[in-house]
Amino acid sequence: MTVSANAPNEREFFLDWLRILAFGVLVIYHVGMYYVSWDWHIKSPAAGAAIEPWMRLFAPWRMDLIFLVSGAATSMMLRRRADGRGLPAERARRLLPPLLLGVFVVVPPQSYFEVVQRFRFDAGYGEFMLRYLTGYNGFCAAPGHCLILPTWNHLWYLPYLLCYTLVLWGLVRWRPGLPERLAQRLITLPGRGWLLVGPFVFLLLTRALLREHFPVTRALVDDWFMHAQYFGVFFLGVVLARAPRAWQQLADARWSALLIALAAWALLTAATGRVLPAGAPIVAALSSFDGPLLRSMLVSAQQWGAIVAALGFGWRHLRRDGPARRYLTDAVFPVYVLHQTVIIVLAAWLAPLALAAPLEAVLLSGATLAVCLAGFEIVRRVDWLRPWFGLKRLDPQPAAQRVAAW
């Protein structure tokens, strides 16, 4: 095992590990979505509020961390080319084939099982695909609330990342050296208070000002609240990658950030009455102050505190390379592409067995990871399949020297 140095042009292995762990959490989180009361594609007969507090532990920050790490990876890609030349084409080659494969091959089973459960569709998968491919607009829960077909479902991250890369490319072409200049200013700021306060204020303001007016859609064209937050942390990742000393500052703040995140989560959870009895004094006290601004403050504190803690602990403990990191770094993209369809198909197959929910959830999680890794094992060995799952064509270059595409 080797430990990465903190040189500005050297790969930060801890970011690879954080990406691996973040997407691992995403897989388990999507298994959890089958068992909570929140809207999702299909629901377990046992769905309810029991695990929702634990889902809320990860919900506010899991995708923000992924976008921040993606920004850092994009920053490394920019380093290899002057003024960003060739970056849009490289990113498009890596993201568009998986998106196309997803929309037309991987995602349709998700929508099929959704219409079977939600709309009692019984005409078979072939008939469903005819409707899917022709943009059928008749699966409606209410007027104006129809299932959009075709769809990218969980693959929304790919077009968002592509668009953010194009915006970054435009900024760098307009102002060459912008990330370096911002990184230089960042590392000269006194103390580490900006790490906890600056991004928190940004996340709070965007949430307070935009959340009510722009509900989350994952549809790209109208998702302005999420664009503000996701591009904000993406661009911060770009800058942090040019300021390696900032990682040490994040590590110094990791315990404070973790405590802030956990305290905010505990207060939000208590306010819902999901853990403490509804009549408990703290619940009543929190409920009396549970306005939109207070909730935005707590969510933003949990959101940024958790990200700082993840980056800080990651830098402190995960700066190591080895066969496991190289293998899992390549596996992440194919597993991401496959995982939600695998979850939904396996859940539909397990449902008739009427297993106890905890046992079923364990089996579903384990089987999903096993099937996805098996899929990766096939994909990585078939050269023409690799680009369709976000992997480069086979070449003699050592895997340790490749820069992650996202």
Contact 315, 14 (CB under 8 A): yes
Structure token pair of residue 189: 């700021």
Q: Is the peptide bond before 281 cis (omega within 30 degrees of 0)?
A: no
The answer to the question of residue 214 being in a domain is yes
* Residue 237 contacts residue 329 (beta carbons within 8 Å): no
78 within a domain of the structure (yes/no): yes
Which pLDDT value is given to residue 192? 58
Q: State the pLDDT at residue 396.
A: 59
Residue 140 inside a domain? The answer is no
For residue 395, what pLDDT is reported?
73
- Does residue 103 lie in a domain region? yes
2's enclosing H/E stretch is: strand 2-3
Cα–Cα distances (Å) from 150 to 98, 102, 131, in that order, read 15, 10, 9
Written as six digits, the tokens of 389 are: 């799952």
What is residue 1's predicted lDDT score, i.e. its pLDDT?
A: 43
CB atoms within 10 A of CB 121: 18
* 186 within domain boundaries: yes
Residue 158 C-alpha from the chain's centroid: 10
With respect to residue 135, please indicate whether it lies within any of the assigned structural domains.
no
Residues 6+ apart with CB under 8 A from 370: none
Distance in angstroms (rounded) separating the CA atoms of residues 130 and 355? 34
| In a domain? residue 389 | no
The pair of structure tokens assigned to 252 is 């110094």
As for how many domains the chain has, the answer is 1
* Residues 310 and 2: beta-carbon distance below 8 Å: no
Give the pLDDT confidence score for residue 116 in this predicted structure.
Answer: 96
pLDDT of residue 293: 86
Asked whether the beta carbons of 35 and 46 are under 8 A apart, the reply is yes
What per-residue confidence (pLDDT) applies to 167? 96
Nearest CA-CA partner of 311 in 232, 243, 235, 257 = 257
For strand 320-321 and strand 2-3, is the pairing parallel, antiparallel, or unpaired?
Answer: antiparallel
Task: Express each pLDDT in 75-94 by its tens digit.
Answer: 988 887 766 678 899 999 99
Low-confidence ranges of the chain (pLDDT < 70): 1-10, 82-84, 189-193, 273-290, 396-406
Q: Cβ neighbours of residue 64 under 8 Å, at least 6 residues apart?
A: 229, 230, 233, 303, 307
Contacts of 76 (CB under 8 A, 6+ apart): 11, 241, 403, 404
Q: Is residue 76 part of a domain?
A: yes
Kindly report the pTM of this predicted structure.
0.91
Range of 256's domain?
A: 6-107+152-382
